């Protein structure tokens, strides 16, 4: 553990192999392995002040103001008081430090909460309750059901038969289905006998700490024997123990060395693109400031030599100083006077603006999720404007795009489609929350949370249609689901795949209730009658077969094979007599797939007893052989899975979160590229890609990168490039430069003909991210319209984000909801956490949190765009008003002997940024809108200028400086000429320094205020009050400070006695003010008018339309449900893992014999449920029905706002 944060190695020397001895702390401590304590906070009590100051002084302006403070305490140089700099500097540093301290205290509390969890540790031959942070490598610990795994453990023994444990890995890979781990038989014999466990002295030699979640290599030496260890015997920190009463484990890695923490990215200090640009601009301004001061210092030197001698008579030099020393001191005096080119109030104002825009996000009711009572939250206040510049969005899938809830939507049985609802005229109607649901009260064992709308299917089942009964009988028998009867009588389904759970639950509601299984039988209730089928074989699923079969014997002695799988696979094995039924079913499958549903085909075959006996004998022989077992088994399966009779097909919806397809559509129109990075299998990710419109059938091609060697991956990437851009596959694709002009390689955006998708799996991605191939991968991915990376580890997610950050001139955003997304969220410029069902880890590490993915479009297209627009307008105006203010000093220097005399009254200099111009610009920066949120949604193209840095860039800054230079010349030379040799109406002279100062500062204030009014497009009562109030405040304060009374109280502080009333009552003074204001504004108005006529921007066009429509949008139109017309269909149970069938038939899966149940329909009050992880079969863990629409849940933005395509835009 490092002092400031996580240090993954934790030692000076790199560990090559881990060695440890069970129950021997003294031996293990000699290696100085990390303890189990974690630390994600950045500071502690002693390091906070120096570290935080160091971070803040990385902002060049803060360092500059510290330097100014040092200058101002030197009396020979300073003409301003030291406190004018120290007070605002301390204020800025203190506010930022307080905010950083609050954030870090929250991280510290989170660490403390985890570190102080309790676990039972075997110490001195007794189980003691210890804190997680005190657990050491080599300790043996006891875990109980539903406990988090404390550290990375070697599983020793468990309460389940054959030492199996069931774990949930949602925090590691986002998957919610249960996984199985099994201990070695030699350690399983230890059971829960404390004496034997205390005597266990096994020695483990294994790999050093690393971030590979899917691999583990090691050996256990015990009792004179060596045993091989792999990933199937390891429990990783971050997992949760499920359905296992207890287990014991040996700690291998603790704290920062666990695989979970190795996959966590470091907390970084995030700065926006504008912040980084500001650093460069401030450096440029400092250079320009030094140039101006040098020019004026040289001028002072020449003036002292040529003119200064004439003043020696009545103003002798102190200590007989030379002209060189005078010039040197003048240089530093002008550094202080001209420092207003970068006033510290700029940074105070920026923090206020960011804070205000953060509150808008927190208060936005349209981003409030009523169902979960979750508002949006800006967890940081420093990144708001970056939300308006996002080019790449990296999204998790499970829990972010989807709810991970599978629902049985439709089916086709014997050529008839079920699931749609028709009106009395026979027209299909859309299913809404008001559509009547099927009444399953005839079935006391039905799952009350399951909903279906087509009454025809229930009637078909009730009429004892043989095909319908065979259909649901297959669903009740052909699966690997486990049934558990809870104490309160609740039937709970544990499924490895949510798909399977949804199908078994559907069969259950339609009268075919799966109740229990043993290694040799499956018990179901068929329309109220309990029947037990002998389970003879499970022909398991794998990615090549894409199907699963069971062979059962009915109570009547009939042998049958039931098969379900991908339709293309099933069709190849059908009996020729099914050809006509196959055609009809294919039409139904096309329709289901067109709606984005996941489809399966179902078929069966009756078997001959003698044939099966011979087949079973051959199957047994192959199963126990070691030679080419898998291939020989596949051939046996192929032999028996033929001449099948088609029953029909199912259609399951992998329930997307509300508004996901529409949100992705909107973000795509805003030219935001979306990459999905998921731990799920390839086919699952592909299906979701099609469901949410990320991948579309209209695409020219979707490339699948699945090479197993670096050469294969490179070739597949190059083939994809050649297909997308034949003429430039090997061309140069670099631009020199960086985001801020730093010298670095930037992969340019390339135009391709057509639209393409890219899908790459985890092993291939590992090769693609290697230094020699990463640019090939990035180039291919950037040429694609959509990118999906599957089976990726948390660290790979972060590596993909870092790759895009490194080689693309673009701002990135990562969004996720689980602990496996934390590293990606930390790596991106902006991290967004979804407060979903996988805990709060992602939210705690994020910069912004929302309840649903659909709110992302409002966060970016409305809040992000407005924040960026406001910040850019603020910066342009702020630099304009301060450059203009400062340049007047520069011109005045040529007329005052380069004496560092200020052109304005010292009080005006103090109050200019603090009072006179502060509120109007803050008002604009907090309330400005070019168009309202409705028009922002209707025209997502408004977002594009932010991605291109159009509103504030080096070019925009240079224009602002030129504009300020022109205005300052007008504001100095016009009043100077107007007052030269001028007298009042009564003949008295007004051409004195004080009168000129009042006139110059009044002209300046009017000019910058009018410029602000021109910049502002959205006027409110508050804005108008700020603008008029500031002018009124100027005159009130000026007349008060220049009054006789103030002079009499403090003559040296208020020397401008009577100047205001003496000057501002003259008509020629007001004519001068009017003339300067007109001359300052006229070029701006003319330039903007010409630009609007010749080259209007997208904003200009939409604002014109908005004004035409009197700021009211067209009536919103309800968006029709998106239906994809597609022939693409998904395969079977993509979350399913190979080998599960073997566990079921071996009995290893079973924990205890299922309790016998009555099969009658007389039971009442039984509550039933299915939960592979608490989320499948169409309902949530909270028990709320998922298909019920809540009246108080707001519509999605895309339901409220229909995108209108305007040809003129």
Strands 811-816 and 830-834: parallel
Strands 152-158 and 126-131: unpaired
Q: What are the Cα distances from residue 317, in Å, to 270, 325, 1144?
A: 52, 11, 102
Q: Find residue 221's DSSP bridge partners.
A: 203, 226
Of the candidates 28, 31, 34, the one whose C-alpha atom is nearest the C-alpha of residue 1 is 34
Q: Which helix H or strand E contains 513, and what residues bound it?
A: strand 512-518
Burial (CB < 10 A; 0-12, 13-18, 19+), residue 1096, is middle
With tokens 């967004």, the residue in question is: 832
Do strands 756-760 and 786-789 pair parallel, antiparallel, or not at all (unpaired)? Answer: parallel
Structure tokens at 653: 């919806």
CB 1186 within 8 A of CB 655: yes
Residues assigned a catalytic role: 396
Q: Which residues touch 953 (CB under 8 Å, ≥6 apart)? A: 277
Q: What single DSSP character describes residue 942? A: G
518 forms beta bridges with: 521
Query: DSSP 3-state assignment of 761?
Result: coil
Neighbouring residues of 584: CB distance < 8 A, sequence distance ≥ 6:
412, 415
> What is the DSSP-derived secondary structure letter of residue 149?
P
Contact 56, 97 (CB under 8 A): yes
User: Do 406 and 652 form a contact (C-beta atoms < 8 A)?
Assistant: yes
CA–CA dist 735, 729 (Å, integer): 16
- Would you give the distance in Å from CA 304 to the centre of its chain? 63
DSSP string, 704-731: EE--SSHHHHHHHHHHHHHHH-GGGTTS
Q: Which residues pair with 229 in a beta bridge?
A: 218
DSSP per position, 553-573 = E-TT--EEEEEEE-HHHHHTT
Q: What is the largest CA-CA distance in the chain?
A: 132
394 φψ region: left (φ > 0), alpha (ψ -120 to 50), beta (else): beta
| Torsion-angle region of 1111 (φ positive above 0: left; ψ -120 to 50: alpha; else: beta) | left
Residues 6 or more apart whose Cβ sits within 8 Å of residue 99: 381
How far is residue 1029 CA from its own chain's centroid? 42
CA atoms within 13 A on the CB side of 528: 11
Chain-centroid distance, C-alpha 777: 22
Distances from the Cα of 382 to the Cα of 42, 271, 717, 745, 805, angstroms: 18, 7, 38, 28, 19
| Gap between the Cα atoms of 837 and 831, Å rounded | 18
Alpha-carbon dihedral 10, 16, 21, 25, rounded to 10 degrees: -20
Could you tell me the two tokens for 723?
A: 């297909």
Candidates 80, 713, 730, 146; CA nearest to 344 is 80
Residues 799, 802, 807, 812, CA torsion sign:
positive
23: three-class secondary structure by DSSP: coil
Q: Is the dihedral of CA 976, 980, 984, 988 positive or negative?
A: positive
- The dihedrals phi and psi of 122, each to the nearest 5 degrees, come to -80, 105
């Amino acid at each position: 553990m490092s002092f400031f944060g996580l240090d993954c190695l934790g030692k000076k020397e790199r560990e090559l192999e881990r060695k440890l001895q069970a129950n021997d702390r003294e031996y293990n401590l000699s290696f100085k392995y990390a303890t189990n304590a974690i630390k994600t906070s950045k500071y502690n009590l002693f390091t906070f002040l120096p570290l935080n100051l160091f971070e803040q002084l990385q902002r060049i302006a803060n360092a500059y103001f510290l330097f100014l403070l040092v200058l101002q305490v030197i009396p020979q140089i300073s003409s301003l008081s030291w406190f004018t700099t120290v007070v605002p500097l301390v204020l800025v540093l203190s506010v930022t430090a307080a905010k950083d301290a609050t954030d870090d205290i929250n991280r510290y509390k989170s660490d403390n909460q985890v570190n102080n969890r309790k676990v039972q540790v075997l110490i001195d031959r007794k189980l003691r309750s210890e804190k997680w942070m005190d657990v050491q490598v080599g300790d043996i610990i006891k875990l109980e059901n539903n406990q988090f795994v404390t550290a990375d453990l070697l599983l020793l023994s468990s309460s389940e038969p054959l030492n199996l444990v069931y774990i949930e890995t949602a925090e590691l890979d986002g998957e919610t289905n249960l996984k199985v781990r099994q201990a070695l038989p030699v350690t399983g014999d230890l059971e829960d006998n404390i004496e034997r466990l205390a005597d266990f002295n096994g020695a483990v030699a294994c790999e050093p700490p690393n971030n590979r979640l899917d691999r583990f290599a090691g050996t256990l030496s015990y009792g004179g024997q060596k045993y091989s260890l792999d990933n199937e015997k390891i429990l990783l920190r971050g997992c949760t123990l499920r359905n296992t009463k207890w287990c014991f484990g040996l700690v291998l890695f603790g704290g920062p060395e666990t695989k979970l923490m190795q996959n966590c990215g470091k907390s970084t200090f995030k700065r926006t693109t504008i912040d980084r640009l500001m650093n460069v601009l401030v450096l440029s301004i400092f250079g320009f400031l030094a140039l101006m001061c040098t020019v004026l210092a040289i001028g002072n030197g020449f003036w002292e030599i040529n003119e200064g001698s004439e003043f020696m008579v009545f103003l002798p030099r102190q200590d007989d100083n030379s002209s060189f020393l005078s010039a040197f001191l003048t240089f530093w005096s002008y550094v202080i006077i001209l420092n207003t080119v970068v006033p510290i109030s700029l940074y105070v104002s920026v923090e206020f603006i960011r804070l205000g825009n953060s509150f808008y996000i927190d208060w936005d009711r349209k981003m409030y999720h009523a169902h979960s009572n979750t508002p949006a939250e800006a967890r940081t206040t420093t990144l708001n404007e970056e939300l308006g510049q996002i080019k790449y969005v990296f999204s998790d899938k499970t829990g972010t795009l989807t709810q991970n809830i599978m629902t049985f939507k439709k089916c086709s049985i014997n050529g008839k489609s079920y699931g749609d609802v028709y009106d009395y005229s026979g027209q299909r109607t859309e299913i809404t929350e008001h559509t009547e649901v099927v009444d399953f009260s005839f079935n006391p064992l039905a799952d009350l949370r399951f909903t279906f709308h087509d009454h025809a299917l229930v009637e078909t089942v009730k009429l004892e249609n043989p095909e319908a009964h065979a259909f649901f009988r297959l669903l009740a028998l052909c699966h690997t689901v486990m049934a558990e009867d809870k104490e309160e009588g609740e039937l709970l389904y544990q499924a490895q795949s949510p798909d399977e759970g949804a199908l078994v639950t559907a069969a259950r509601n339609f009268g075919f209730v799966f109740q229990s299984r043993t290694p040799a039988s499956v018990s179901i209730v068929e329309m109220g009658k309990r029947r037990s089928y002998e389970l003879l074989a499970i022909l398991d699923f794998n990615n090549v077969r894409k199907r699963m079969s069971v062979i059962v014997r009915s109570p009547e002695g009939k042998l049958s094979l039931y098969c379900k799988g991908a339709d293309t696979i099933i069709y190849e094995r059908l009996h020729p007599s099914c050809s006509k039924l196959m055609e009809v079913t294919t039409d139904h499958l096309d329709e289901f797939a067109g709606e984005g549903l996941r489809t399966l085909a179902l078929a069966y075959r009756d078997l001959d007893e003698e044939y099966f006996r011979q087949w079973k004998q051959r199957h047994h022989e192959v199963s126990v052989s070691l030679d080419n077992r898998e291939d020989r088994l596949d051939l046996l399966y192929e032999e028996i899975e033929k001449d099948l009779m088609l029953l029909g097909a199912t259609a399951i919806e992998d329930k997307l979160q509300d508004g996901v397809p529409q949100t992705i559509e909107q973000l795509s129109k805003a030219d935001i590229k979306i990459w999905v990075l998921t731990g799920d299998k390839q086919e699952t990710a592909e299906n979701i890609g099609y469901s949410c419109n990320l991948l579309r059938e209209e695409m020219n091609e979707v490339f699948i990168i699945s090479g197993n060697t670096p050469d294969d991956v490179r070739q597949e990437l190059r083939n994809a490039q050649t297909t997308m851009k034949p003429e430039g596959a090997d061309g140069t694709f670099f631009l020199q430069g960086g985001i801020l002009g730093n010298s670095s390689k930037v992969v340019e955006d390339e135009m391709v003909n057509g639209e393409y998708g890219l899908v790459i799996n985890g092993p291939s991605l590992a090769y693609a991210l290697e230094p020699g191939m990463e640019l090939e991968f990035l180039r291919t991915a950037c040429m694609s319209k959509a990118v999906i990376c599957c089976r990726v580890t948390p660290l790979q997610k972060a590596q993909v984000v870092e790759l895009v950050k490194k080689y693309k001139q673009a701002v990135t955003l990562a969004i996720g909801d689980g602990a496996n997304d934390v590293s990606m969220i930390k790596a991106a410029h902006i991290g967004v956490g979804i407060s979903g069902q996988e805990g709060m880890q992602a939210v705690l590490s994020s910069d912004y949190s929302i309840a649903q993915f659909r709110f992302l479009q409002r966060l970016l297209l409305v809040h992000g765009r407005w924040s960026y627009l406001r910040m850019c307008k603020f910066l342009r105006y702020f630099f304009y008003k301060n450059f203009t203010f400062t340049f007047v000093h520069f011109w005045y220097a040529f007329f005052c002997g380069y004496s560092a005399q200020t052109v304005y009254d010292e009080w005006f200099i103090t109050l200019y940024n603090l009072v006179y111009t502060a509120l109007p610009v803050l008002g604009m920066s907090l309330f400005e809108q070019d168009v309202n949120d409705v028009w922002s949604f209707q025209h997502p193209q408004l977002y594009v200028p932010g991605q291109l840095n159009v509103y504030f860039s080096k070019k925009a800054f240079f224009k602002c400086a030129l504009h300020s230079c022109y205005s300052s010349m007008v504001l100095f030379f016009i009043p100077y000429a107007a007052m030269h040799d001028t007298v009042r109406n009564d003949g008295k002279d007004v051409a004195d320094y004080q009168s000129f100062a009042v006139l110059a500062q009044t002209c300046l204030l009017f000019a910058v205020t009018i410029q602000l009014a021109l910049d502002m497009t959205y006027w409110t009562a508050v804005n108008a009050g700020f603008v008029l109030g500031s002018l009124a405040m100027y005159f009130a304060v000026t007349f008060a400070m220049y009054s006789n009374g103030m002079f009499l109280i403090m003559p040296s502080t208020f020397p401008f006695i009577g100047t205001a009333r003496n000057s501002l009552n003259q008509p020629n003074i007001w004519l001068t003010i009017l003339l300067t204001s007109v001359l300052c504004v006229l070029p701006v108005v003319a330039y903007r008018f010409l630009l609007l006529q010749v080259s209007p921007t997208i904003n200009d066009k939409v604002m014109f339309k908005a004004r035409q429509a009197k700021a009211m949008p067209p009536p919103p139109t309800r968006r029709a449900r998106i239906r994809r017309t597609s022939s693409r269909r998904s395969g079977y149970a993509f979350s399913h893992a190979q080998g599960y069938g073997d566990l079921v038939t071996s009995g290893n899966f079973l924990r205890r014999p299922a309790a016998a149940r009555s099969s009658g329909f007389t039971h009442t009050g039984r509550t039933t449920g299915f939960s592979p992880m608490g989320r499948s079969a169409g309902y949530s863990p909270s028990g709320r029905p998922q298909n019920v629409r809540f009246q108080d849940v707001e519509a999605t933005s895309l339901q409220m706002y229909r995108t209108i395509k305007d040809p003129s835009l």
